[in-house]
Amino acid sequence: MRSVRREVIVGIGTAVAVGAVSVLVPVSAASSTTLALETAARAIAVGIPVAVGLVAWRRPPFERFGRLLVATGAAVLLVTLARSDDAVLYSTGRVVDWGVEAGLIYLILAFPSGRLAQQVDRALATTAVLLVGLLFLPTALLVETYPTPAAWATCGPDCPRNAFMAVTHEPSVIDQFVTPVRVLLAIALFVAIIARLAHRVRGATRLGRRTLTPLLAVAMAWASALGLFLGVRMAWPGSVLVEGVVWLIAFTVPAMAVAFLIGLVRWWAYVGASLRRLAAGLRSPLAPEDLRSALAGAFEDPSLEVVYRVADGWVDGDGRTRAAPAPGSGRCLTEVANGDRIVGGLIHDAALRYERAFSDAAASFAAQTLESHRLAADTDLLLREVHESRARIAAGADNERRRIERDIHEGAQQRLLSLRIRLDVAGRPGQDPAAAAVALRDLADEVDAAIDDVHSLARGTYPYVLTDQGLAAALALAAGDAPVPTTVIAQPLRRHAAEIENAVYFCCLEAVQNAAQHAGHAAAVRITVAERDDSVCFDVQDDGSGFELDAVRAGGGLTNIRDRVAAVRGRVTIESTPGRGTHISATIPLSPTHATAREA
């Protein structure tokens, strides 16, 4: 802020100094009989560029261009010294005029940012500097007089001598070679500049033309007039056409400043009208597509797009990947944030890039709409996940019922049917008592086997010890029957709600089964269960072969673990690296009623 304020103060001081000097300088023109007109002409030629430059000084992206315009206005003041009868002042004005022409080329090509963004612009500006530096400025030390007529020099054949001449006689090569060559090169340069400016106008977007067209039209007229002037002055020095063109060239800088101001006014009028249209079109919440249409219509940018932030870039409303516009493409991306979170973005005409009114208003409206859309999308995603989780749980329950039915049918039921048949055979009349005793002993073994089958089936379905004694005892019993060496470390635990104890127990069993199936025969498992900060935490870690998490199919044991933990509002973390085993940890929060649910 201090820097900007200092720049403005310097600019105002420059404007005041320029204005004062433009009044005082004409006094040196002793032969002038139109002092008031000369003063007014100087004030217009110098004051208008300085005033317009100050207007643009603090308005992005024109601030650099505004500073250059102020400097150009001050330089024009030195050019007006060419109206003086004093040889030094006159010669100073003529030499500075060459530099001003090169500066104008830079100013025009650098519009509106004040910087030469394209390679062709840098090449044209460099050519202008070299042309002035090599074929114009050195002749100030070699010529007796400067070519006439010229801008701000109306002395004609009575112009003062060249005060900077450093030789006794003007070399003939100046008139015979240097002057024709530099005029032809200058004309070629102006033709190239006209073509470049015409290309910029044609290639500009509809929004960009609002500020570009007025100034570039005047710039093309200036380049055409100056090229015509140089050619006609060399061929027909006394032509009336030359006199008229001289005055047009003299007031080129203020004309450019006015054209630039017209472009600014047109832009401000457009922004004001756009904001009114935007306010009228966004009086109620809109869908993202309606938001895009409202913004595109309000700011007259039909190609405006709404995009959404993803981890690796941007996507449009249909989920297609969208790259951020490349520099120089005429498009740019404005991020839309809600607080510290980026919720989306707008890809739009680059002419709106530095317009704060657009970025503030559009981003404010877009943030509300996109945040609502994001919340709705998140809700839909959560609902989808809930439905998918419920479907998996239901499918798991159905599969478990089918397994129980199959085990009963193929195991205990078949054994009991066999037992029933053998009992019938043993109970038939006339059986040998000794054979009957042996048959009864065999039947007792079959009954014990049937009991073991039923016990095994019941234990796989729901452990009675979990209900009766709690997690630590149930996990210890399960570890003894586990197919891999399993250690249980369980701190003293209170009893908790059945859904929490069930979730911890079956998740640990699922993890042990996974280790047995996939971790290799040498694997060992360690289960740790504890209470921490009003939560029940468990860790299951094995030293098996590990795996790549991305390669695990959905719907397997890990998915079951995630679903069970999510059902009791917990969080689960699964870490595995090939060759380094697997680590599953989860934290399940306790509500105030959970700790006493069993005791109630």
What pLDDT, on the 0 to 100 scale, is given for residue 148? 82
Report which of 96, 77, 72, 94 is spatially closest to residue 21, judged by C-alpha positions.
77
Question: Do 144 and 233 fall within a single domain?
Answer: yes
Tokens 């049917």 found at: 417
Question: Do 75 and 105 fall within a single domain?
Answer: yes
Asked if the structure places residue 428 within a domain, the reply is no
Residue 527 is encoded by which pair of tokens?
A: 């289960």
Residues 6+ apart with CB under 8 A from 441: none
What pLDDT, on the 0 to 100 scale, is given for residue 27? 44
Asked if the structure places residue 538 within a domain, the reply is yes
Say how far apart CA 531 and CA 501 lie, in whole Å: 12
What residues pair up with 332 in beta bridges, in sequence order?
348
- Domain of residue 305: give its range: 269-378
pLDDT of 484 above 80: yes
Share of the chain above pLDDT 90, in %: 17
Question: Do 18 and 130 fall within a single domain?
Answer: yes
Query: Which of 358, 378, 398 is the endpoint of a domain?
Result: 378
Question: Do 217 and 276 fall within a single domain?
Answer: no
Question: Do 123 and 13 fall within a single domain?
Answer: yes
Average pLDDT on 540-564 reads 78
**88-128, pLDDT tens digit by residue?**
999 999 999 999 999 999 999 998 888 898 899 999 999 99
What pLDDT, on the 0 to 100 scale, is given for residue 83? 82
User: Could you tell me the pTM of the whole model?
Assistant: 0.58
Asked if the structure places residue 453 within a domain, the reply is no
- Give the number of domains in the chain: 3
Asked if the structure places residue 499 within a domain, the reply is yes
- 10 Å CB burial of residue 525 (0-12, 13-18, 19+) is buried
Query: Which of 327, 353, 378 is the endpoint of a domain?
Result: 378
At residue 236 the predicted structure's pLDDT band, cuts being 50, 70 and 90, is confident
Asked if the structure places residue 535 within a domain, the reply is yes
Distance between first and last Cα of the chain: 68
What pLDDT, on the 0 to 100 scale, is given for residue 297? 84
The amino acid sitting at 46 is V
Residue 287: give its domain's CATH number.
Answer: 3.30.450.40
Question: Do 148 and 182 fall within a single domain?
Answer: yes
Question: Do 66 and 138 fall within a single domain?
Answer: yes
Asked if the structure places residue 320 within a domain, the reply is yes
Question: 386-395, 521-530, 576-585: which has the minimum mean pLDDT?
Answer: 386-395
Average pLDDT on 56-73 reads 85
Question: Do 297 and 172 fall within a single domain?
Answer: no
Question: Do 245 and 287 fall within a single domain?
Answer: no
How long a stretch of residues is the chain?
600
Question: Do 63 and 172 fall within a single domain?
Answer: yes
pLDDT of 594 above 70: no
Residue 504: give its domain's CATH number.
Answer: 3.30.565.10
- CB atoms under 10 Å from CB of 134, counted, come to 12
Distance (Å) of CA 496 to CA 368, 466, 500, 503, 588: 43, 11, 7, 11, 11
pLDDT of 396 above 70: no
DSSP secondary structure string, 40-80?
HHHHHHHHHHHHHHHHHTTSTTSHHHHHHHHHHHHHHHHHG
Question: Do 228 and 147 fall within a single domain?
Answer: yes
What pLDDT, on the 0 to 100 scale, is given for residue 288? 63
pLDDT of 401 above 60: no
Query: Which of 378, 399, 428 is the endpoint of a domain?
Result: 378
Residues 6+ apart with CB under 8 A from 57: 7, 8, 11, 63, 66, 67, 70
Question: Do 80 and 229 fall within a single domain?
Answer: yes
